[in-house]
Chains A and B, each alone.
Chain A
Amino acid sequence: MADPRIVPDPRIVIVGAGPAGVRAAETLVAAGVRPIVIDEGGRDGGQIYRRQPEGFRRSYASLYGSEAGRAEDLHRSFEALRDRIDYRPETLAWGIWEKQLHLLQGSRTSEVDFDALIIASGATDRLMPVRGWNRAGVYSLGAAQLALKSQASAIGSRVVFMGSGPLLYLVAAQYSKAGAKVAAVLDTSSFWLRVKALPRLIARPDVLLKGLALTWKLRRARTEIETGITPVEIEGQPETGVETIRFRTNKGQERTVACDAVALGYHLRPEAQLADLARCEFRFDVQTRQFFPVKDTDGRSSVAGIYLAGDGALTLGADAAEASGHLAALAVLTDLGRQVATRDVGRLRRRLRAFERFRRGIADAFPWPASAAAAFSEDTVVCRCENITAGELRAAVTTGSVELNHAKAFSRVGMGRCQGRYCGHAAAEVIAASAGVSIETVGRIRGQPPVKPFVIGAESDAKEGA
């Protein structure tokens, strides 16, 4: 910190070194601020541009495909920032209290005070359970991609991709290209919804074309693709895991496909726990039937000093994450009394609006299969962590729990290690269907610290900046 202009005053903290966090950091550094950048991962890049471990040799082109240029650009940008930011990899932000962020690195805890906090925490897969999804060999779609991208491994020898959304086709195509056996792609949304959504999807013609190319590549590789399917069960043994998948075709016939792994996913959901712990307001999105933290276009949350960027606020994808990270940093600077170029702000806002139109198109084309929850058999496991079935959850509804947190207390759904990340949305659907109330009134699982498991052996460092 030789240069007196970059003394960390004001104190700005960014959680997440993905596209959103990196662009936010870059914008702040350009304005002469030295932000603290926290990321749980060992390296920058976030989810989509995750870097492979040291010693791996695959090229950008083979690793990131059509996004290679963007990935390389983001990584270069970050490298250029390294000396001008306080970067803390392998550090989990696990709690927030007033204007203080609580960190855990290994088993060391520490706190940092902030004047502004940019939460760029990204997303995780959005899941709709299916009977048998608790078996070994069932993975989230994102997991299937991560195995390939950052570990050069496939999650099995015969993989079925089931769910909905563009990522389903993308990851299946990546597997196919890498030489892994794709047993089938089973999409719960029907082909016609895609056609109907075209007017909105045109908002990003390049992405639309890439999507079409993927399907074409899969078909050329003779991959079985079924649309409009209804998942029935992932069959197998408790000890050995997945053996087959059973589903109904769009014509209503029941079929099975032999497989030893299933990748399951229905778009993404924001990692919004930190925003929740900062007591940001949330709003209900009718179209996708989930809650998002409230923010203005520039990224201001409902709480002064807390800014939201990237997929952690609204799942608009990687390009939008870059734009929203940039914009959130400009909002921070504006709010701290700095001059910012209004031309940049206008341009970025326009870009985000196009991304938002596209997101709505995607949500129309690949809808969240809400009605599946009503059809769960009583013994379908809803909460994988605690092994709680739909029947047990419905029993809680019968005894009066029609709000998600109340039902959680009585059924234990969402009480486990993942804190409801993977069952929360489906549990809400089960309750809404069973109680005959709207999903919005069922609510969302309230965040509770720690954001992720916290080791009892944790030792604390002296508070910084005290």
Chain B
Amino acid sequence: MTSSESGRFRRVGEQDRPRLVFSIDGQPAEGCKGDTLLVAMLTQIRHLRSSEFGDGDRAGFCLMGACQDCWVWTDTGERLRACTTPLAAGMCIATKAPEQAWPTLA
């Protein structure tokens, strides 16, 4: 597995699974079949999103669907809870709310 050095998580086994290609903020990324989206993202980058309240980046907390710290966006504006969503090939993930997701007019 070519998990880039900038990732946060380290794979320690089950590395011979088929690869799945997806993207994070427009950058190509790679994960393995059977990964959760959270694990796939965090083997590539060091965060999932930023706190809305200015205290920095967040990378999930409970991994079991309880803390809700790991919600990310798709480029079309859907919300995904990364720790309970299986990675699928071709996913386009955004760590910030994409423009078209939410009205811009005020």
Contacts and interface: CB of A to CB of B under 8 A. Distances in A.
Interface of B is mostly: loop
B103 to A, nearest CB: 14
Interface of A is mostly: loop
The 9 nearest A-B residue pairs measured at CB:
A238-B56, A417-B68, A387-B53, A143-B63, A53-B34, A136-B59, A152-B14, A152-B13, A146-B63
A192 interface: no
Interface residues of A, number: 55
A387 B63 CA distance: 20
Given A385-B69, A387-B53, A156 B62 contact: no
Nearest to A56: B14
B8 A421 contact: no
Contacts of A40: 65, 84
A137 interface: yes
Interface residues of B, number: 41
A237 interface: yes
Contacts of A139: 60-63
Contacts of A387: 51, 53-55
18 contacts: A134-B55, A136-B46, A138-B61, A140-B62, A142-B63, A143-B62, A146-B63, A153-B39, A155-B8, A179-B12, A180-B10, A417-B69, A418-B66, A418-B67, A421-B66, A422-B61, A422-B62, A452-B68
Interface of A: 40, 42, 47, 52-58, 124-125, 134-140, 142-143, 146-148, 151-157, 178-180, 237-241, 260-261, 271, 381, 384-387, 416-418, 421-422, 452-453, 455
B53 A386 contact: yes
Contact of B67 (A54, A154, A381, A421): A421
Nearest to A417: B68
Interface of B: 8-15, 17-18, 33-36, 39, 43, 46-47, 51, 53-69, 71, 79, 81, 84, 86
Given A143-B60, A238-B55, A384 B69 contact: yes
